[in-house]
Structure 1
């Protein structure tokens, strides 16, 4: 395995403004203490933020990339999560400093597309909003947004996306908790559009639905971003062994940890970015064993010989990786 020390270059950014974007959703504006420009980012980028309780969490940037003096993250308070969003909501105050990584992009906007179809579920609007804001008054191609939420009260940036100027491009749909009132995405995805790229961000159920409905599209036109990092437990999970073929090192991957996390604990790190199985950066050759695939990237014909080590696990007792 080519060993890399896992480090995230962090900047001490100060919270200069906090405001509610919707019920249970809050925006945090981060700047350098001296007000100087921040490292540039592209639409769809995310940063890793060390929240007040010490956890490191990934959040998409939702401001216009041309706004170089601040990073804006918008966070939903998740009472069933691992505590990162709760810490931000309950403990962060204006003036506090949050160590923040240089932006990375696992959800890049294709700049030569003939069209864009954005599908956002809930807080999944954040990276897509950055894309839309980057278009300015002269978009590079026609675009449409389907924005699915529970209710108007829980819809972030509703006023901005409901202006008369965007009426023809934006469809905001509220379910009000009624499954019978869910939006029919097939109406938007039934006919593949040459050169049009689909960008979907939101809950896993929404992304699975979009993936299932775009099987007749070119896979190169479909892009996903997830806020759920790897390691979520499932009832069927069990420990398994990973063997690194090049170094002959063996590690046990316990329930609740990913292959990538275990590699990091032992001083190494394969390339990674999204850590949610949506970008493909951690694609690794699988030499032996049967994987339990949990990504949104691999095609059926690739699954026997490749694995995304940021989310996927093993059905067999052992996996042998080309690392």
Structure 2
């Protein structure tokens, strides 16, 4: 784990804050690459992934953007409401599932908080002298993060900031941009409707040239979910897992320390042995043979009968 200090914190837009993090001991930070993210332990105790927006050449700081998610699990709220400059946070070294590959040209598309990894890419491409177009879609100027940076000339390229005012008839029309395939690589990060639109209009492009970043690859909660109990075999304790709460968060709230990283069912860190129970596996990690006695407690659940964990 990295020991980091919040050197700077500022509002970027309505409900979006920027955090500038430096090493607590003043040392050089582990390197990262454009499109990368930082797994941060939030004040609420959960691990959350936040995309890095600064230039990877900066080894003295990490800059992340955090959007308040009122309907989330409390991680973003604790980051925004329970921290001040000077506070310390723990994080894992940066990771990258959205790497910038070498290409003749680039089309960068962002929606909302999705501008953070896209901005890091734009900064790298500016330094490299690579041509790129950047389209940033938001509902209104008040919800537009980094508009000052994009308008300052710090990043080159052809930059378009589009506001739709929440009107479906005013959404950005991508067809003219993608009607004729080119040698450009496309990078898109934003809400699901935006990514679905980009997928639709690039269906005739080479699949290898289209790249998406999505931190919600699995359906964590479903309408048919029910509350259930988890028995911790090593202590005999029973923990209730309400609807809308993960097993991981429930046992953590009960004071049990469990290692985790992505908390989205994709990394395997929180894999736990279960001794009994009818488990609803929702992860993208476990092999079929593992599901007989292993469960990813960050996303998977049980029915009313609950489950017994080897914890």
Question: Shorter-chain TM-score: which interval?
Answer: 0.7 to 0.9
Q: How does 1:111-190 map to 2 (within 5 A)?
A: 111=102, 113-139=103-129, 141-163=130-152, 169-190=158-179
**Using the alignment, how far apart are the partners of 1:98 and 1:25 within structure 2?**
19
2:133 is paired with a residue whose SS is: strand
**Using the alignment, how far apart are the partners of 2:16 and 2:25 within structure 1?**
28
For the structure 1 residues 260 and 122, does the alpha-carbon distance in structure 2 shift closer, same or farther, using more than 3 Å as the test? closer
For the structure 1 residues 25 and 186, does the alpha-carbon distance in structure 2 shift closer, same or farther, using more than 3 Å as the test? same
1:136 is paired with a residue whose SS is: helix
Contact 2:188 2:211 in 1 (8 A): yes
Number of equivalences: 254
1:227 to partner: Cα distance: 3.3
Match of 2:250 in 1: none
TM-score, structure 2 length as denominator? 0.73
Match of 1:36 in 2: 27
1:236 to partner: Cα distance: 6.6
Contact 1:15 1:96 in 2 (8 A): yes
Structure 2: gaps of 5 or more residues: 227-242, 247-263, 275-281, 290-297, 302-311
1:12 to partner: Cα distance: 1.1
1:138 to partner: Cα distance: 4.1
**Using the alignment, how far apart are the partners of 2:202 and 2:25 within structure 1?**
47
**Using the alignment, how far apart are the partners of 1:209 and 1:14 within structure 2?**
39
Match of 1:78 in 2: 69
Contact 2:131 2:157 in 1 (8 A): no
Contact 1:15 1:97 in 2 (8 A): yes
Structure 1: gaps of 5 or more residues: 1-9, 239-254, 269-275, 288-309, 314-323
Q: How does 1:161-310 map to 2 (within 5 A)?
A: 161-163=150-152, 169-194=158-183, 196-228=184-216, 230-235=218-223, 264-266=270-272
Contact 1:202 1:227 in 2 (8 A): no
RMSD (Å), alpha carbons: 3.2
**Using the alignment, how far apart are the partners of 1:146 and 1:261 within structure 2?**
30
For the structure 1 residues 217 and 236, does the alpha-carbon distance in structure 2 shift closer, same or farther, using more than 3 Å as the test? farther
Q: Which has the higher contact order (CA 8 A, sep 6+)?
A: 1
1:205 is paired with a residue whose SS is: helix
2:182 is paired with a residue whose SS is: coil
**Using the alignment, how far apart are the partners of 1:185 and 1:236 within structure 2?**
36
2:70 is paired with a residue whose SS is: coil
1:27 is paired with a residue whose SS is: strand
Match of 2:100 in 1: 109
TM-score, structure 1 length as denominator? 0.70
**Using the alignment, how far apart are the partners of 1:261 and 1:137 within structure 2?**
32
**Using the alignment, how far apart are the partners of 1:19 and 1:85 within structure 2?**
15
For the structure 1 residues 285 and 209, does the alpha-carbon distance in structure 2 shift closer, same or farther, using more than 3 Å as the test? farther
Q: Deviations over 1:86-141 (max 9, x none)?
A: 11111011111111110110000002x011001100100000100111233442x3
**Using the alignment, how far apart are the partners of 1:89 and 1:223 within structure 2?**
29
Q: How does 1:86-101 map to 2 (within 5 A)?
A: 86-101=77-92
